[in-house]
Chain A
Amino acid sequence: RKEVEQDPGPFNVPEGATVAFNCTYSNSASQSFFWYRQDCRKEPKLLMSVYSSGNEDGRFTAQLNRASQYISLLIRDSKLSDSATYLCVVGASGGSYIPTFGRGTSLIVHP
């Protein structure tokens, strides 16, 4: 089983739609969780950290489910500019400096 798994998609949605991605992780000792956004041929950029209590930033909501070992990202009222790849990243544990990346979920928002 891969350490961090994501559905690669693509998720093809119309403008204004609500879309959700999940990401599962295998290491139950993981302590930190992130969603990064990566545009085509660009570097990943932090979208949001994921806190135990869940967190929201405008149209974006991230949640953590420790019992089932997954994190989710919900995007409301999708915009064309949301089209990108969304990378799930699980922070290291046990003193390691190495975060683990999922392969990313591709989102295409169309008019």
Chain B
Amino acid sequence: DAMVIQNPRYQVTQFGKPVTLSCSQTLNHNVMYWYQQKSSQAPKLLFHYYDKDFNNEADTPDNFQSRRPNTSFCFLDIRSPGLGDAAMYLCATSIRGGMETQYFGPGTRLLVL
């Protein structure tokens, strides 16, 4: 089945140790999003790509970077994770953009020790 896949599902890292989260999609959607979600809060958009055009939210910390090497894959790099970065990281796609349904991956739960 076509879907959005995220790996790993759970990631434990040490304070300050770089970590990379990955997302892949078989939907061939143009837009990919990375969200951070903390308990009882709405998903917070970090970045999105329309094709290869990268868009960074103004309040996304520099500690967070992203790469989209091709249509199918997108990566979230956290260069120096802090305790406050512990959260669920959700990848989502949509065909063309924000007026349409988003399809979410199962998320990666990040724990920072």
Q: Which residues of chain A are near B48, meaning CB under 8 Å?
A: 97-98
**Cβ-closest chain B residue relative to A6:** B42
Pair B40/A101 contact, Cβ less than 8 Å: no
Which of B48, B100, B107: most chain A Cβ within 10 A?
B100
Q: Provide the bound-state CA to CA distance between A31 and B31, in Å.
A: 18
Q: Which residues of chain A are near B104, meaning CB under 8 Å?
A: 43-45
**Cβ-closest chain A residue relative to B97:** A97
Q: Total interface residues on B, using CB and 8 Å?
A: 25
Q: Provide the bound-state CA to CA distance between A101 and B37, in Å.
A: 11
> Is the CB of B106 closer than 8 A to any CB of chain A?
yes
Q: Provide the bound-state CA to CA distance between A36 and B50, in Å.
A: 22
**Cβ-closest chain A residue relative to B53:** A97
Q: Provide the bound-state CA to CA distance between A91 and B45, in Å.
A: 14
Q: Which residues of chain A are near B50, meaning CB under 8 Å?
A: 97
Q: Which residues of A contact B (CB under 8 A)?
A: 8, 31-32, 34, 41-46, 49, 87, 89, 91-93, 95-99, 101-104
> Is the CB of B70 closer than 8 A to any CB of chain A?
no
> Is the CB of B102 closer than 8 A to any CB of chain A?
yes
Which of B48, B99, B103: most chain A Cβ within 10 A?
B99
Q: Provide the bound-state CA to CA distance between A104 and B43, in Å.
A: 10
Pair B98/A99 contact, Cβ less than 8 Å: yes
**Contact string, B42-55, partner A, CB cutoff 8 A, digits 1/0?**
11010010100001
Q: Which residues of chain A are near B96, meaning CB under 8 Å?
A: 97
> Is the CB of B105 closer than 8 A to any CB of chain A?
yes
**Cβ-closest chain A residue relative to B105:** A43
Q: Provide the bound-state CA to CA distance between A89 and B101, in Å.
A: 10
**Contact (A49, B101) CB under 8 Å given A41-B88, A42-B106, A43-B106:** yes
Pair A43/B41 contact, Cβ less than 8 Å: no
Within 8 A of A (CB), among B63-113: 88, 90, 94, 96-107, 109
Q: Provide the bound-state CA to CA distance between A101 and B13, in Å.
A: 28
**Contact (A34, B101) CB under 8 Å given A8-B40, A43-B90, A43-B106:** yes
